[in-house]
Amino acid sequence: MSKHYLEYSEEVSLAQEKKIPIVALESTILSHGLPYPENWETGQALESILREKGVVPATIAIADGKIKVGLSSKEMKDFCQDKNILKVSRRDLPCVVALGKKGATTVSATMICAAMANIRVFVTGGIGGVHRGAEKTMDVSADLAELAKTPVAVICSGAKSILDLEKTLEYLETQGVNVLGYKTDDFPAFYSRESGRQVDYKVETPQEIAAIMQTKWNLGLEGGIVIANPIPLSHALDDKEMEGCIEKAIEEAQTHSVTGKAITPFLLSRLQDFTKGRSISANIALVKNNTALGAEVALAYHKAVNFV
């Protein structure tokens, strides 16, 4: 029944027919994560990276009562320019689809839609997690619950450094979510390559990642896998500087009573101001790096599933 709500782009439909690997991309980074025109340029660049590696991109969004699995160039530009796009998580998905509204999918919603479309690899910047002070606010991202039950591998640069990373990793461990470090033992903190916290297992190749994906799901184990890929060294920001900026941004958010869905966009916007745009450049660099790895993982998983 869920297939009724999916609308595939011509490129994605052809890829499914010809059994070409597909990688899912979220639309929230376009509508809420980056300003225009950086969002448009980045969206086009990410899709180009995948195509150049022989993988088909499926940027996922909601419009006209359908889950769009793959956007045309015109549709993507519209999402990048429209300032009234709703931010869609798991709880919003049925409402936004049923009411025919336009929505950009977060990590959790993109995972759901990718799984519906039988896409097993999804690339993003960083996953959500347990917010600082969650012991008082109970502010925990829906991304973590989704990772516990939806069978999609998420390529990311760890979790956003505005979060409580220790509690985020503890939550993932409790839920049985595998956290793999790509060529690293240290869980990356989005803008920074290291957080001082360990991943579950270090992996050296896309083939190792694909083998873990295949084995987990063949064993009948629920849930996704986090593949933490550190930001390129050339774009990594200083840990101490970023921590100072984050603490200042959190104080401002508390002063202005910014909570819920608004908190992450607010904090990221303030970080952009404090770093004079360097956080935006870092964000773009890391998601491009993640996309290149996502393509390699999708190719390796496709080969493992179809030829082993």
As annotated, the active-site residues are 26, 160
Pairing of strands 153-156, 225-228: parallel
Q: What CA–CA distance (Å, rounded) separates 292 from 57?
A: 12
**7 torsion bin: left (phi>0), alpha (psi -120 to 50), beta (else):** beta
Contact 121, 155 (CB under 8 A): yes
R_g of the chain, CA atoms, integer Å: 18
Whole-angstrom distance, CA of residue 13 vs CA of residue 218: 26
Query: CA 152, CA 58: separation in Å to the nearest integer?
Result: 14
**Cα–Cα dist 225/270, whole Å:** 30
Q: Is 294 helix (H, G, I), strand (E, B) or coil?
A: helix
Q: Count of residues for the chain? A: 308
DSSP string, 34-62: S-TTHHHHHHHHHHHHHHHTT-EEEEEEE
Say if residue 27 is exposed, middle or buried (CB neighbours under 10 Å; 0-12, 13-18, 19+). buried
Dihedral (CA of 115, 117, 118, 122) sign: negative
